[in-house]
Amino acid sequence: MMRQYLEVKAAHPECLLLMRMGDFYEAFLDDAAELSRVAGVALTSRNKDSDQPIAMAGVPHHSLQTHLPKLLAAGKQVAIMDQLEDPKEAKGLVKRGLTRVITAGTLIDESGLEAASANWLVALTGLDGVIGIAALDVSTGRFTVEEASTAQQLGLALARLQPAELLLPSELRQADGSVGRLAALVAPAALPPLAGLPAYAWKGADARRWLCERLRVASLDGFGLAADDDHLAGAAAAALRYAESSTSPGGDAGAGDTPRAGRLGHVRIITRLHQARHLIIDATCRRNLDLLRNSRDGGRAGTLLAAIDRTRTAPGARLLADWLSRPLAEREPIAARHDAVAALVADDRLRADLREALAEVYDLERLLARVATGRCNARDLVHLASSLRAAGVVRAALLARAAGAPAARATSHALPALLELAAGSLAPDGELVGLIASTLVDDPPLAISDGDLVRDGVDAELDQLRAIKRDAGAWLAAYQVREAEACGLAKLKVGYNKVFGYYIEISKANGDKVPTHFIRKQTLVGAERYITPELKEYEDRALGAEDRIRAAELAIFTRLRERTEQALALLQGCADALSLCDVVAGLAEAARKQGWCRPAIDDGLSLELADCRHPVVEEVVGRGRFVANDCHLDAGQPSGSPEDRKPGSSVGSHEAPGPVEPAKLAVITGPNMAGKSTYIRQVALAVVLAQAGSFVPAASARVGLVDRVFTRVGAGDELARNLSTFMVEMAETAAILNHATRRSLVILDEVGRGTSTFDGVSLAWAITEHLHDRIGCRCLFATHYHELVDLAADRPGIRNLTVSVAEQDDEVVFLHRIVPGAATKSYGIHVARLAGVPRPVIARAREVLATLEQLNVSLTERERPAVRAIEATGRAAPIQLTLFSAVESPTLQRLKTGNFDELSPRQALDLLYQLQAAARAE
């Protein structure tokens, strides 16, 4: 038995190997220690008394599913060895073999899957040249390829996909450093488990041929893979091969492997993605905006997704997450989504009907994956049938609306194109639904081997066998009575055990009454057990019927499953259409219930939001208590001429100026807790929502297409202000300055905070200048550096905004309303008081503030020339840091104003020490 174990272990050294023994899955040696540690089960040993005991740990077979997620989360791959023959029939050692390798990226039916998110296995062709990226979700059959020509693009894709498992060519995996480079790209998430495949799996031409055979197509053109897309074909083949060899390790995934049809039969289509067609959101931005996962614990609470998700099905929730994580960047497809949402916003009845029907739909995508891989049970098929019935209701509701629409409105179709397309795919296979319903019982058991799946009257042979079994039961009861009477033993009992089968038990005391045709079989302490030829014959019949019933039920079920599998393509189309309806109806529900508007999308460079709200914060502070704000940014005309990118060109300044020229960049100053961060984020969220196809939380909205949203949020107070956080801050800022285009939207929150004030102001100043003068994108910059207010002085493209505050006596109320202008006070003491800082401290702070403010009057006077000096040098020379420091240092003031003529040399030296100490303390 150990030899069986060690042989398989030698072939799969990277896996934690579990072998089925009786009712347990056992691991041995190092794997036992590992299992015990990760899964928290007891570590024991075999051959305890020998000098070489073997470490052993195990989990009951029925709780394997609860332990697997822990093992996978710890980065393990788990190999499962099962018994390949019935132990009852085995002669000697039971044959065992590897049946599955379970890895985080190839889960199909394990409980480790999250219902609302995809589970991507990602394969990369290499880290040099143009990189091919293939992403396969085995649990649903979704399969995409895309390419990245820079490490930065690779990072974007990985940040979006959040792979559960990453597949690299073996030699790359071993090469020094590449894993580290990847870790940096995938940050902040931990590096997912890495698996390696031999290099041959990546060879372009072979990969292409293998994929064609495997997906049963003549060429990959139909999937958008051109003749020179070897890197994409290579990555796709690697992912699919790896997934197939894990889910059925019996097949050889080697180079000469012939595709065995139906292995992962639900993986049929490759979709090619193009980054340029999508609104690009990098890892930083995803994190800062809390789009799909919150930055606190990676959960869904407090995210944009959670705030808008009104879907009724798991595939719908996954599709919505997909829409949000890669919004579109082209007008027509966005408008198509808005059309569909708008139709359902306008029709409460239809929306309610759809959502009611959708509530009856199961996770069809994953269910069909189980059908295609032979893992489904009878309950799955019953759920499939009820889902398809619901699909019929959805279709009927859509078509009824199409028919009921006023004919006079001949302008276009009665249904928006997306919904019409969906309705077309929602033709549920009525025959299959009928077949499932008439074959399987309403609530079949989970295990197909338990029997009782098939209705009476479906199959004549099965009915006959069941009759025999029933009759046999009656016969046994009658037989017991008959024999008891015949030998005058009222207490004669017929019993059953697994080893001896049926027997008659008679106590020793009554031994003399045993008839001669009883054959003794077993002797117990106080009794003897007998069989009779008649009883033996019954046993054959009863047990035979039992086995044959099970076999017949299984055969009927298998036929039904195969029949379902034949309709797979149709059913997958139906599942996709249901997901689409679910997302659209969910978005419409959110929009209608929360009073959102349809955004107008155009190719311009403006962004206009009226009464815009933050969907997540609004939920927290309560609807009606959230103060809506407008936003108007305009980066000019998208002429695309080189003039636009010329340094220093201030767009629109030479053209006929309107009354108030809209700015492209807004500097928002204001007290802490006033709502600056909330405001700038809600603008970014509105753009993401609009381009994802959703309505937006505003009274009206116009969005000139954005190619990329950038965010940079200053080091939070919870982070130590050390060099490394500041490095991160600057690296993120660098990414913005290097990659933003005029079409981008940039959100900056307290940039520069991670360093000293003067450094910080100077950097913030220069960054703002660069964004405005050179890049010319739409930008919102929330800052506590009031110095930046002066940037607007000679730049019409920069607007100062602040948050209004009502002051009455000692009370300060933040109105959260964004208004033109600059903040005059920071109200930090007010916030400190709200936060519970003790009264004496607050009082003392007020005194200090008053003193400083007196000083500040004169400082501001002197600041002006400094600011003007910066302006003068700004375009040519780097900013002189001393210009700021000169106006604030008291030590310098002492130096400047001191009269040193009267000092003795000794006093002069003392003063020098004092000044040095003061300067160091500043």
Residues lying near Mg ion in the complex (CB under 5 A) are found at 677
- Is residue 834 involved in binding ligand ADP (CB under 6 A)? no
DSSP 3-state of 198: coil
Long-range contact set of residues 474-478: C-beta below 8 Å, sequence gap at least 24: 475/538, 476/502, 476/538, 476/542
Segment (H or E) for 633: strand 629-634
Q: Binding-site residue total for ligand ADP (CB under 6 A)?
A: 13
Cα-atom radius of gyration of the chain, to the nearest Å? 37
CA-nearest of 127, 297, 100, 285 to 713 is 285
Least Å distance, CB 713 to Mg ion, is: 8
Residue, CB closest to ligand ADP: 675
Tokens 């055979």 identify what position? Answer: 213
- Using the minimum distance from each CB to ligand ADP, give the nearer residue, 168 or 617: 617
- Using the minimum distance from each CB to ligand ADP, give the nearer residue, 119 or 677: 677
130: buried, middle or exposed (CB in 10 Å: 19+, 13-18, 0-12)?
A: middle
Gap between the Cα atoms of 259 and 699, Å rounded? 56
Q: Which of 67, 263, 795, 816 binds ligand ADP (CB under 6 A)?
A: 816
Gap between the Cα atoms of 782 and 758, Å rounded? 17
Least Å distance, CB 287 to Mg ion, is: 16
Q: Which of 103, 139, 303, 678 binds ligand ADP (CB under 6 A)?
A: 678
Work out the end-to-end distance of the chain between its first and last CA atoms, rounded to an integer number of angstroms.
Answer: 75
- Using the minimum distance from each CB to ligand ADP, give the nearer residue, 289 or 341: 289
- Is residue 674 involved in binding ligand ADP (CB under 6 A)? yes
Among Mg ion, ligand ADP, none, partner that 283 touches (CB below 5 to 8 angstroms by kind)? none
Least Å distance, CB 784 to Mg ion, is: 9
Q: Which stretch binds ligand ADP (CB under 6 A): 225-233, 619-627, 760-768, 883-891?
A: 619-627
Least Å distance, CB 37 to ligand ADP, is: 42
Angle value at C-alpha 62, between 60 and 66, nearest 5 degrees: 90
- Is residue 627 involved in binding ligand ADP (CB under 6 A)? yes
- Is residue 621 involved in binding ligand ADP (CB under 6 A)? yes
Gap between the Cα atoms of 425 and 198, Å rounded? 40
Quick note: the x/- pattern for ligand ADP over 589-618, rule CB under 6 A, is: ----------------------------x-
Least Å distance, CB 614 to ligand ADP, is: 7
Among Mg ion, ligand ADP, none, partner that 379 touches (CB below 5 to 8 angstroms by kind)? none
457: buried, middle or exposed (CB in 10 Å: 19+, 13-18, 0-12)?
A: exposed
Among ligand ADP, Mg ion, none, partner that 370 touches (CB below 5 to 8 angstroms by kind)? none
Among Mg ion, ligand ADP, none, partner that 755 touches (CB below 5 to 8 angstroms by kind)? none
Chain mean position to CA 736 = 25
Among ligand ADP, Mg ion, none, partner that 627 touches (CB below 5 to 8 angstroms by kind)? ligand ADP
Which residues pair with residue 781 across a beta bridge? 667, 748
Which two three-digit tokens encode residue 872?
């003068």
Among Mg ion, ligand ADP, none, partner that 155 touches (CB below 5 to 8 angstroms by kind)? none
Residues within window 863-892 making contact with ligand ADP, judged by CB under 6 A = none
- Using the minimum distance from each CB to Mg ion, give the nearer residue, 169 or 675: 675
Least Å distance, CB 585 to ligand ADP, is: 29
- Using the minimum distance from each CB to ligand ADP, give the nearer residue, 355 or 676: 676
| Cβ(651)–Cβ(644) below 8 Å | yes
- Is residue 677 involved in binding ligand ADP (CB under 6 A)? yes
How distant, in Å, are the alpha carbons of 166, 305, 325, 762, 846 from that of 318?
20, 10, 10, 44, 53
- Is residue 673 involved in binding ligand ADP (CB under 6 A)? yes
- Using the minimum distance from each CB to ligand ADP, give the nearer residue, 34 or 630: 630
- Is residue 302 involved in binding ligand ADP (CB under 6 A)? no
Tokens 């029933």 identify what position? Answer: 470
| Cβ(720)–Cβ(656) below 8 Å | no
Which residues pair with residue 19 across a beta bridge? 26, 81
- Using the minimum distance from each CB to ligand ADP, give the nearer residue, 579 or 669: 669
Among Mg ion, ligand ADP, none, partner that 617 touches (CB below 5 to 8 angstroms by kind)? ligand ADP
| Cβ(630)–Cβ(818) below 8 Å | yes
265: buried, middle or exposed (CB in 10 Å: 19+, 13-18, 0-12)?
A: middle
Q: Which of 193, 675, 752, 797 binds ligand ADP (CB under 6 A)?
A: 675
Residues within window 491-530 making contact with ligand ADP, judged by CB under 6 A = none
| Cβ(223)–Cβ(269) below 8 Å | yes
Least Å distance, CB 617 to ligand ADP, is: 5
| Cβ(703)–Cβ(685) below 8 Å | no
Among Mg ion, ligand ADP, none, partner that 813 touches (CB below 5 to 8 angstroms by kind)? none
Contacting positions for ligand ADP (CB under 6 A): 617, 621, 626-627, 670, 672-678, 816
